[in-house]
A and B are shown apart, each in its own frame.
Chain A
Amino acid sequence: DVVMTQSPLSLPVTLGQPASISCRSSQSLVHSDGNTYLSWFQQRPGQSPRRLIYKVSNRDSGVPDRFSGSGSGTDFTLKISRVEAEDVGVYYCMQGTHWPRAFGQGTKVEIK
């Protein structure tokens, strides 16, 4: 099974400053159809997860453009250009190329 490893697990950030989360997979996430199915999710306190990014770098509808995703193969990154108070929560990466799907352990973003 694919294992997803996120770092850091805790990320204190100053409002207005950038933040970056790394996600590494134990196998390549390039699908036989040529796509790379790596998604990022945000889970605010008390809420269900919400997808922010799909296929590495595509923002979902309504997601602010301060969120961006990048990477390839086995190494991926979620960046927040300027952290806002509403960005507090836990962020997960997920691979959708192989079964079983696999999520990272989560990165808790908090305001310093």
Chain B
Amino acid sequence: EVQLLESGGGLVQPGGSLSLSCAASGFSFSTSAMTWVRQTPGKGLECVSLIYESGGKTYYIDSVKGRFTISRDNSKNTLYLEMNSLRAEDTAIYYCVTGWQSSIWGQGTMVIVSS
């Protein structure tokens, strides 16, 4: 059974940092592209970042470029999202999602940016 377990969410002040992790199991992690998708009541679903299978190429949406870094450790079957200079508008549920076409979703981790 495919499992994606996100962790690391929480409350952080504007300008602060947070690191998210996603532990994957039940599928070939090293041969799967991975994405982070966030969900807010206001903006809906937004695919924030994508990383190739090898980790050699990454994509970001404009609003997080230079602030967020996606990475992976294929030896640990783990996906990461390092978030710096956080803003109120980054408040969302962050989902770890498999594949180029978002096939399997984790349960999500809540990030709240507020003073």
Contacts and interface: CB of A to CB of B under 8 A. Distances in A.
Which range holds the interface residue count of chain A? 20 to 34
A76 interface: no
Contacts of B61: 100
B101 interface: yes
B44 interface: yes
Contact of B101 (A96, A100, A106): A96
A103 B101 CA distance: 12
Interface residues of B, number: 19
Interface in B27-67: 35, 44-47, 50, 59, 61-62
Contacts of A101: 35, 47, 50, 102
B58 to A, nearest CB: 11
Interface of B: 35, 44-47, 50, 59, 61-62, 95, 100-108
B105 A54 contact: no
Interface in A44-91: 48-51, 54-55, 60
Given A99-B50, A99-B59, A100-B59, A54 B103 contact: yes
A101 B105 CA distance: 15
A41 B47 CA distance: 14
Interface of A: 37, 39, 41, 48-51, 54-55, 60, 92, 94, 96, 99-103, 105-106
Given A99-B59, A101-B35, A48 B106 contact: yes
A1 to B, nearest CB: 9
Given A48-B95, A48-B108, A96 B44 contact: no
